[in-house]
Amino acid sequence: MRKFSAVAALALGLSLALTGCGSDDSEGSSTTVSTTEHNKADVTFATQMIQHHAQALSMVDMTMGRDLDPKVAALAEDIRQAQAPEIETMSGWLQEWGEDIPETVRDHANAESDMEGMDSDTGTDLPGMMSDDDMAALEGASDAEFQDMWLEMMVRHHEGALQMAKTEEVDGQFKAAVDLSKKIQRAQTAEIGTLKNLLG
């Protein structure tokens, strides 16, 4: 009887431990997630992903007026519809947290923007970001070259965003930011598949 009780107690303890490890809030994260508190990883994620998304939107802008496969044009518009609101959301978080909203490549494209108080780093060294030369080459590409170049660059860009989003999922504290990182991973993983299929 004593042996049975010991085994039962061990099984119960193991069950409770496993239950604790299976919490939805902590899944995939090494940090306790909060609906109100944020940490340095959240600030980094929002700051860098704003810059990353902004470059993706600049790449989408370059598709305007181009002779593209309708599926490519539709995907470009999907990217715009998803990422523009996410920039607004992340900018709102930074403002609430008393952090600077970063300067982006889109601010450079609009010289009349009020740049006062903004960071000078536009994030071109982030994972998957195109260099100034890459962006100039894309903008100057002929219609015959543009579509495949755009698709290849957007695959690289999305793969970089996945790295950043995975880091936030593990290290972030602010639940809304962690949730957004997971959403970005789902959406951009699917889009990478579409981009590669369109490349043929």
pLDDT at 116 over 50: no
Q: What mean pLDDT is predicted for residues 23-35? A: 66
**Pick from 5-9, 55-59, 99-103: least confident:** 5-9
pLDDT at 129 over 70: yes
pLDDT at 159 over 80: yes
Query: Where residue 141 sits, what CATH number does that domain have?
Result: 1.20.1260.10
Q: In this predicted model, which residue has the larger pLDDT, 11 or 185?
A: 185
Angle between the 70-96 and 40-61 helix axes, to the nearest 10 degrees? 150
- Whether 85 is in a domain gets the answer yes
- Whether 118 is in a domain gets the answer yes
Minimal CA–CA distance to 168: which of 113, 97, 95, 90?
90
pTM summary value: 0.80
What is the DSSP code string of 56-91? HHHHHHTTTT----HHHHHHHHHHHHHHHHHHHHHH
pLDDT at 3 over 60: no
- Of these ranges, 23-27, 33-37, 117-121, the one predicted with the greatest mean pLDDT is 33-37
- Whether 168 is in a domain gets the answer yes
DSSP 26: G
Q: What mean pLDDT is predicted for residues 172-188? A: 98
- Whether 40 is in a domain gets the answer yes
pLDDT in tens, 30-83: 679 999 999 999 999 999 999 999 999 999 999 999 999 999 999 999 999 999
- Whether 48 is in a domain gets the answer yes
Query: What total of structural domains would you count in the chain?
Result: 1
Can you give the pLDDT at residue 72? 98
- Whether 16 is in a domain gets the answer no
- Whether 5 is in a domain gets the answer no
- Whether 117 is in a domain gets the answer yes
d(CA 119, CA 198): 36
Q: Which residue has the tokens 């993706």?
A: 56
183 CB neighbour count, 10 Å cutoff: 13
Q: In this predicted model, which residue has the larger pLDDT, 16 or 36?
A: 36
In terms of residue numbers, what domain contains 63? Answer: 29-199
